[in-house]
Amino acid sequence: MVAELVRGQNHPLPRTRLEILISAEVPVLVAAALGDEGGRVHDGHGIAHHGTPVLPGIEVPRAAAAEHCLSADLRELSEAVHRVTVLLALPGMAARFGATAAPRATVTDADGTEIVCFTLAGLDAESAVVALELYRRQGGWKVRAVGQGYAEGLTALLADLGLSGASEMAEATHEAGRLGAARAAAPPKARPSEHGPVDYTHPGRQGPPQPQPQPQPQPQPQPQPIAGDAPGWSMEERLYNQVWGMFEDLARSTAALRSAADFAAARLDRELDEALADPRARIGGAGEAARETARAKHDELMGRAQAAHDRDLAQLTAEAEAVEPALPPAYARWDSPVWHGHRMPAELPRAVRLGDLHLPESASLRIPMLVRLPLERGLWVDSGATQAGFTDSAERRRLALEVAVALAARLLAVHPVGEFSVEVIDPAGAGAGPLGALTRTGVLTGPPSRGTAGVAQALESLTRRVDLVRMAIGGGATEALPDGFDTARRLLMVNDFPQGFDDRALTRLRFLADEGPAAGVHLLLVADRADAGEYGPLLDPLWRSLTRLTPSPDDHFADPWVGHAWTFEPSLPPQGGAVLQQVLGVVSAARIKGK
């Protein structure tokens, strides 16, 4: 059965030899871009268009037309090619897709059996569009319905794919399309013939060829998910790419389900309105029959969309079950066995896990939230969050500080010895309990800073440090740093902000938030924004510069790519704290040994 895709939805490809059929109301230019795992095209040789229609594994038509057939043999593609992006563009400068019927793309196997189809609905001022993507996934290939249009035309589309000569390539594609159209429109040259018309009938044939029955393709089983099934030079890099590939697949599958729901609901409303608008349909059973038909179409579409989402979810769940046990400490949950017998790494990992992300349509599937190291932004654990029903202010603050301590411990544990340190500002000493895990093991640079004087002294020291490093980097003289200068990155954890902060301290904190990461100083703030309400908009830039985390599940992570709001769950050690104490003990012992 043919799968009718909606924007964002994907589908496995059971064959590697494919035909991609494009039908449009007007002639269109067609091209195929060969990209890396991120879809980026590194040079002009990765584009098959009307002027250069053949690349290894890909062949496109030689002229603009309303009907196109692209051929693809995915086995012939270079191993460096991870995505084949099918592009459409209108030849005219003032043309736009919204003025024509929606184009349609159909993917078939080499025998002509249809696999998926996709109608590029909803286009308006766009004159170029990404129709489909074919991409590698878990040892096989999948197709994704994209439908991303560009009002700025083919140049903007190619630039978005990372092509440095996008303008020149767009012009070459348009020019090749114009030449191909001119050749196709030219009348054939007449040839003199002395022997009359030529009979092209094969001499061995006694009549028209009889159609041969085509074998029906057998459904291919989904490949068994394995950990590290993603591009990368090391297992850590492959796992990192695989986790974000899972995030991307879940985002797109959910977007497809929501898009189908919106389309089905809008169509149902329209068809019900049309049925009620006809007075004749209100008498007898005609109106009820029309309504039942509309509801049946709605349910059928939603059933197919939900089935596709359930299939994607089952595949991603199986992949998560294979990936999670293989994650290294920087990516692993606190209850993972990798923390038992933990050893300090020799190199900085690619990223660190802050928690988990999930969506309401797939609440059981958690995707690790990984952020690159070194941290590019500070972190803010919001002690004012109330989503989990914590009405007691002291309890919220304690839980927020426990999240911050767990994050600090993880960062200490995944950095090489001597390359990362933590210092704490706790003006009133209110965090003594949760901070005990850090103070007892001696992993801090010193005791937590207390009172207004302690806050000022800690911030002044770090501000001077950032200024010094910035001057050294700016002058290209990092070797000129003072002898004995501690080059380890610093994490400043601030509890109960803004208690103990005056105006000067606030200015310095904002400076550290903005300039600190580039100089090796990072901020981890534990605060309730309402406590700083007296400063009004003065602190708005500070809050915006930090990545907000919550001590309880909260759907606050906005995804501008597809418009989702992801629910974040913090990463906390199991009750009892034995794992946390064990890991911090390893950090402390390694630090003592390294002195």
Residue 374 pLDDT grade (very low, low, confident, very high; cuts 50, 70, 90): very high
Does 7 map to a domain?
yes
CB contact at 8 A, 339 and 332: yes
CATH code at 20? 2.60.60.30
- Output the pLDDT for position 420: 95
Tokens of 468: 């010094």
* 432-441 and 393-414 helices, crossing angle to 10°: 20
The stretch 256-278 carries a mean pLDDT of 82
Q: Is the pLDDT of residue 413 over 90?
A: yes
Which residues, at least 6 apart from 245, have a Cβ–Cβ distance to it below 8 Å? 137, 230
Q: Is the pLDDT of residue 519 over 60?
A: yes
The stretch 373-391 carries a mean pLDDT of 81
User: Could you give the C-alpha distances from 190 to 179, 193, 455, in angstroms and in order?
Assistant: 21, 9, 93
Give the residues across from 521 on adjacent strands. 490
| Across 9-13, 124-128, 211-215, least confident range | 211-215
Nearest in space to 168 (alpha carbons), one of 30, 44, 261: 44
Q: Exposure of 380 by Cβ count < 10 A (0-12 exposed, 13-18 middle, 19+ buried)?
A: buried
| Across 16-20, 370-374, 393-397, 579-583, least confident range | 393-397
Please identify, among 332, 357, 390, the residue that sits at the C-terminal boundary of a domain.
Answer: 332
pLDDT per residue as tens digits for the range 459-491 = 999 999 999 888 887 777 666 677 767 788 999
Nearest in space to 336 (alpha carbons), one of 405, 416, 396, 414: 414
- Output the pLDDT for position 45: 57
Provide the residue range defining the domain that includes 403: 377-594
Both 450 and 573 in a single domain? Answer: yes
Q: Is the pLDDT of residue 280 over 70?
A: no
Q: Which helix (H) or strand (E) holds 275?
A: helix 235-277
Both 583 and 442 in a single domain? Answer: yes
Residue 190 pLDDT grade (very low, low, confident, very high; cuts 50, 70, 90): very low
- Output the pLDDT for position 194: 39
Please tell me which residue, 294 or 406, carries the higher pLDDT value: 406
Both 579 and 430 in a single domain? Answer: yes
- Output the pLDDT for position 48: 86
Tokens of 352: 């660190």
Both 85 and 144 in a single domain? Answer: yes
**What's the CA gap between 552 and 568, in Å, rounded?**
8
Both 590 and 511 in a single domain? Answer: yes
Both 456 and 582 in a single domain? Answer: yes
Both 424 and 556 in a single domain? Answer: yes
The stretch 104-120 carries a mean pLDDT of 90
- Output the pLDDT for position 232: 78
Tokens of 1: 């059965």
Both 319 and 254 in a single domain? Answer: yes
Share of the chain above pLDDT 70, in %: 86
Q: Exposure of 194 by Cβ count < 10 A (0-12 exposed, 13-18 middle, 19+ buried)?
A: exposed
CB contact at 8 A, 154 and 47: no
**What's the CA gap between 29 and 176, in Å, rounded?**
9
Does 361 map to a domain?
no
User: Could you give the C-alpha distances from 268 to 117, 222, 262, 274, in angstroms and in order?
Assistant: 22, 34, 10, 10
Q: How many residues does the chain have?
A: 595
Residue 210 pLDDT grade (very low, low, confident, very high; cuts 50, 70, 90): very low
Q: Exposure of 484 by Cβ count < 10 A (0-12 exposed, 13-18 middle, 19+ buried)?
A: exposed
**What's the CA gap between 28 and 25, in Å, rounded?**
9
Which residues, at least 6 apart from 429, have a Cβ–Cβ distance to it below 8 Å? 448, 450
Give the residues across from 381 on adjacent strands. 526, 549
- Output the pLDDT for position 175: 77
Residue for token pair 């802050």: 354
Domain count, the chain: 3
Q: Is the pLDDT of residue 553 over 80?
A: yes
**What's the CA gap between 16 and 5, in Å, rounded?**
19
**What's the CA gap between 360 and 257, in Å, rounded?**
12
User: Could you give the C-alpha distances from 63 to 53, 72, 112, 124, in angstroms and in order?
Assistant: 9, 18, 22, 24
Tokens of 72: 């693809």
Please identify, among 332, 367, 385, the residue that sits at the C-terminal boundary of a domain.
Answer: 332
- Output the pLDDT for position 27: 87
Task: Compute the C-alpha angle 51/54/59, nearest 5°.
Answer: 110
Does 204 map to a domain?
no
Q: What is the largest CA-CA distance in the chain?
A: 109
Task: Compute the C-alpha angle 367/368/369, nearest 5°.
Answer: 110
Sort strands 378-382 and 546-549 into parallel, antiparallel or unpaired.
Answer: parallel
Q: Is the pLDDT of residue 199 over 60?
A: no
Tokens of 396: 């919220």
Nearest in space to 374 (alpha carbons), one of 343, 411, 424: 411
Does 264 map to a domain?
yes
Both 305 and 416 in a single domain? Answer: no
Both 384 and 505 in a single domain? Answer: yes
Computed over every residue of the chain, the mean pLDDT equals: 84
- Output the pLDDT for position 308: 87
Does 215 map to a domain?
no
Residue 403 pLDDT grade (very low, low, confident, very high; cuts 50, 70, 90): very high
Residue type, 502: D
Residue 338 pLDDT grade (very low, low, confident, very high; cuts 50, 70, 90): very high
Does 355 map to a domain?
no
Does 197 map to a domain?
no
Instruction: Give 168's DSSP letter.
Output: H
Tokens of 78: 């270079």
Does 389 map to a domain?
yes
The 3 state secondary structure assigned to 433-499 is HHHHHHHHHCCECCCCECHHHHHHHHHHHHHHHHHHHHHHHHCCCHHHCCCCCCCCEEEEEEEEECC
Select the highest-mean-pLDDT range: 7-21, 268-282, 314-328.
Answer: 314-328
**What's the CA gap between 545 and 517, in Å, rounded?**
11
Both 324 and 381 in a single domain? Answer: no
Other C-beta atoms lying within 10 Å of the C-beta of residue 108: 19
CA 590 to chain centre: 37
pTM of the model: 0.67
Please identify, among 119, 148, 183, the residue that sits at the C-terminal boundary of a domain.
Answer: 183
Both 168 and 300 in a single domain? Answer: no
CATH code at 566? 3.40.50.300
Tokens of 183: 């050749």
- Output the pLDDT for position 220: 53
